[in-house]
Structure 1
């Protein structure tokens, strides 16, 4: 929220890449310092744990597939995510408390796509994970990335693979600070554009403040008809937004 002011901003350099440090007033009116950095290899397990707890558990696509309701599906999906985060085309950025605890409180994951890339074939073991990828394919086919790249004459593109904030730190402006860094990732990977499906109003609002553009939008009612499901307590619509570098 804009009422939580940022009191200081600085730059740090990790692995020759520039990231941001900043201080924000929390909901309890404490000033806390945060650091945004590329995910170090020794923190893979912590990152995956954070992703499973605060992204997979709450994100609407995973919920409707039933992944959070199945321990077996959660374990299978965790294995897939662990493999994904090691993919050299995937960029994992984390927001941490800038103190001795160094707790991860935010994650942002993007994948570099090149023209002609083939989608990785995943053979799920559990019904919820299988259902998740069926939903994902149908959803993504509403606005295919290859078509987007063709329309904008792109040879490379950064696609979203997840964005989440720890519930304890939601609503204080972390998303507003992390959204612009997605463009920085694009610059580092040599891609002229990034984009994402905005299934959460908070993320959509943060990206809108950062100048992202809605290029496709659909109501959850219509999306539910296409997917053959009924969304419970969903926002009015979800949108695909892009940001040009």
Structure 2
């Protein structure tokens, strides 16, 4: 929804070797060269690590990965998507390595549901879990009667840059975006220990929790041992 690549945050992070990185969180420029880098990050590190995608078997199927690539590429071009990236804060404002990205989607009350037909059994299973597991368990738009909602579509940080507080800065930036658009509540299904802990440090509250053992029985899938559950966490925004 943002017309220009706004910079939301500038911060420094100290690496284990003592070096300091100057970073910025900004809207993803909608240009092919940057979108290709973000797509590469998502497919290498989000799709192959996110617990529910793994449980559905997407990463084990070449055909499913091809279908997922097409879906992620399409999402990067959707006008309703608000995508922010983390990169080096250089004086010339050039975008080099994409260190991480946060995918979000604006939805207005009354908008028709996005209908997507998948051909692979793995993507169909993933949508079954997302729709009948997560979607039926909690929806902040309904619970808080929101006119505009900013739905989470995933956070990914490149392994080289983990442990620098980038995920937490993405969550803080999300608060800023919600404040700008007048959204009092924002939430997300946190499926990884790292994002759950980052959200806790940023003051997010757990309002719904699904045990992976229960999801395994309901959808006939297998989750990794850790974490034991997926949490729906919310942040309250001071408007």
Indicate whether the TM-score tops 0.5: yes
Is residue 42 of structure 2 the alignment partner of residue 56 of structure 1? no
Is residue 169 of structure 2 the alignment partner of residue 177 of structure 1? yes
Query: Pick from 29, 32, 44: which aligns with 2:18?
Result: 29
Q: Which range moves more in the overlay, 118-127 or 194-203?
A: 118-127
Q: Unaligned 5+ residue runs, structure 2? A: none
Is residue 149 of structure 2 the alignment partner of residue 153 of structure 1? no
Give the TM-score normalised by structure 1.
0.86
Is residue 213 of structure 2 the alignment partner of residue 224 of structure 1? no
For 1:107 and 1:214, the matched residues in 2 are separated by 23
Quick check: which one's strand share is greater?
A: 1
Q: Deviation per CA, 1:95-144, whole angstroms, max 9, x where unpaired?
A: 01335672001110111121122221111122222222122112223424
Q: Contact conserved, 1:27 with 1:172, CA < 8 A, in 2?
A: no
For 2:230 and 2:16, the matched residues in 1 are separated by 27
Aligned residues: 230
User: Mapping of 1:77-226 within 5 angstroms?
Assistant: 77-99=68-90, 102-145=96-139, 148-226=140-218
Alpha-carbon shift at residue 167 of structure 1 (Å): 1.1
Alpha-carbon shift at residue 24 of structure 1 (Å): 0.7
For 1:66 and 1:83, the matched residues in 2 are separated by 21
Q: Contact conserved, 1:158 with 1:186, CA < 8 A, in 2?
A: yes
Q: Contact conserved, 1:217 with 1:240, CA < 8 A, in 2?
A: yes
For 1:125 and 1:89, the matched residues in 2 are separated by 24
Alpha-carbon shift at residue 240 of structure 1 (Å): 0.2
For 1:128 and 1:16, the matched residues in 2 are separated by 35
For 2:61 and 2:226, the matched residues in 1 are separated by 21
Give the TM-score normalised by structure 2.
0.88
Q: Deviation per CA, 1:47-85, whole angstroms, max 9, x where unpaired?
A: 111111111110011111121122222121111111112
For 1:141 and 1:94, the matched residues in 2 are separated by 26
Aligned-pair RMSD on alpha carbons? 1.9
Alpha-carbon shift at residue 18 of structure 1 (Å): 4.2
Alpha-carbon shift at residue 16 of structure 1 (Å): 7.5
Q: Which range moves more in the overlay, 161-170 or 232-241?
A: 232-241
Alpha-carbon shift at residue 149 of structure 1 (Å): 2.4
